[in-house]
Structure 1
Amino acid sequence: MGKNIDEERLEEIHQQMIDAGVSDLFGTKKEVRHLPEFMDADEKLLYATSGFVDKGTVLAVITDKRLIFINHGMIYGADFREIPFEKINGVSYSTGLVLAKIAIDNGANTTMIEQVSKKTAPEFVEVLKSAVATSKESKSSEPVITLSVADELIKYKQLLDAGVLTQEEFDSQKAKLLAE
């Protein structure tokens, strides 16, 4: 019969982890196996690491949509928590002798991920900051690239000079731009 969807999705997520250079998943193999249950079909894993949140080992996953924490208990089911990118105000990390801590501030409170590998903490923070910035840019109502009136006029003048626009069309476009 072949593989079920979850197995295929899990392989896809494993490949995304390899592509992202994920290296520290200490104590979170069960959580990784359950990722297809928590991620949308079109959601892409950008980075992941393991750490401690509220005295439990978690898999912290950055996707292209949100930050996810999964703790799959030994006896009981999974503990799942997410922080949407628009709620994240700040991200930082500090390193100790052996391990690091990551702080994620969402205004109301700060989530601490402790006992993170010193190697993965800086990478995790950079990927998260980048994902949050990208998310905020794509949600802003302003287009990212805006041309000034002068840029537009130059473009229309070049089209006029190249014979693409007539003088009347150029004058009409110029009048529209100057009226804005």
Structure 2
Amino acid sequence: MINVKTASIEELKIEYKRLAKLVGDMPFGTKKEFYYLPAILADGETPLAVVSGLMGGNTWLITLTNYRIIFLDKGMVYGLKQVTLDLASVISVGGRTKMMIGSITLSTASQNYTIENVMKGAVTPFTNMVNIARENHSKQLAMQQESSARPQYDVITQLEKLAALKERGILSDQEFSAQKEKILAM
């Protein structure tokens, strides 16, 4: 993996092919969208896979990152259409295949996004990668919430222990106050 934000055009070409190959896609007409990606990626955001297909009659590049799914359409000559789905807002991912092509549907609480004319061999790998990324993202969010909640719980526990020591007469009022200040200063 490369840092897409600082990569040269040549490095982006190689990364584009690598990401498409991960899911078995042969992207068609979406290079300019991929080259635009560094402008919209956040710091620490990494593309995991790309797939191309039709949505609303236009060819879109769908990029799965470690934080979100980005739909990009740069148009033939000018313009930009962008849709972003946070991984936490994706409720379900589905795929359907036909003889040569398939479609991928991403559902949120309020809308469904269906990408048609996706290479048949890319449908299942891409949907699987989205599900894995969703699981990893939710685990990461849970760990962040747990780590931010834990210190407050530890402070409360320590204060309760101090109060119990004071009630038993083991700590004086001065000792209790001094220890309490130390705990609250952490």
Shared fold (TM-score, shorter chain, > 0.5): yes
Q: Please show how residues 1-180 of structure 1 align to structure 2 within 5 Å.
A: 7-8=7-8, 11=11, 14-15=14-15, 18=18, 21=22, 23-140=25-142, 141-142=145-146
Larger fraction in helix: 2
User: If the length of structure 1 is used for normalisation, what is the TM-score?
Assistant: 0.69
How far off is 1:6 after superposition?
Answer: 5.2
How far off is 1:10 after superposition?
Answer: 7.0
How far off is 1:11 after superposition?
Answer: 2.0
Structure 1 residues 16 and 114: CA distance shift in structure 2, 3 A = closer
- Check the 8 A contact 1:31/1:71 in 2, yes or no: yes
**Alpha-carbon distance in 2 for matches of 1:93, 1:38:** 27
How far off is 1:106 after superposition?
Answer: 0.3
Which amino acid in structure 2 is aligned with residue 21 of structure 1?
Answer: L
Runs of 5+ unmatched residues, structure 1 = 144-180
- Check the 8 A contact 1:17/1:48 in 2, yes or no: no
How far off is 1:75 after superposition?
Answer: 2.6
Runs of 5+ unmatched residues, structure 2 = 148-186
**SS of residue in 1 equivalent to 2:136:** helix
State the Cα deviation string for residues 112-169 of structure 1 (Å, max 9, x = none).
01100001111110110000111111112347xxxxxxxxxxxxxxxxxxxxxxxxxx
- Count of matched residue positions in the alignment of Structure 1 and Structure 2: 139
**Alpha-carbon distance in 1 for matches of 2:6, 2:61:** 18
- Check the 8 A contact 1:10/1:33 in 2, yes or no: no
**SS of residue in 2 equivalent to 1:42:** coil
Q: Percent identity?
A: 24
Which amino acid in structure 1 is aligned with residue 28 of structure 2?
Answer: F
**Alpha-carbon distance in 1 for matches of 2:57, 2:30:** 14
- Check the 8 A contact 1:10/1:36 in 2, yes or no: no
**Alpha-carbon distance in 2 for matches of 1:62, 1:124:** 9
Other-structure match for 2:157: none
**Alpha-carbon distance in 1 for matches of 2:135, 2:78:** 36
Q: 76-85 or 38-47, which moves further after superposition?
A: 38-47
Q: 134-143 or 64-73, which moves further after superposition?
A: 134-143
Structure 1 residues 133 and 16: CA distance shift in structure 2, 3 A = farther
User: If the length of structure 2 is used for normalisation, what is the TM-score?
Assistant: 0.67
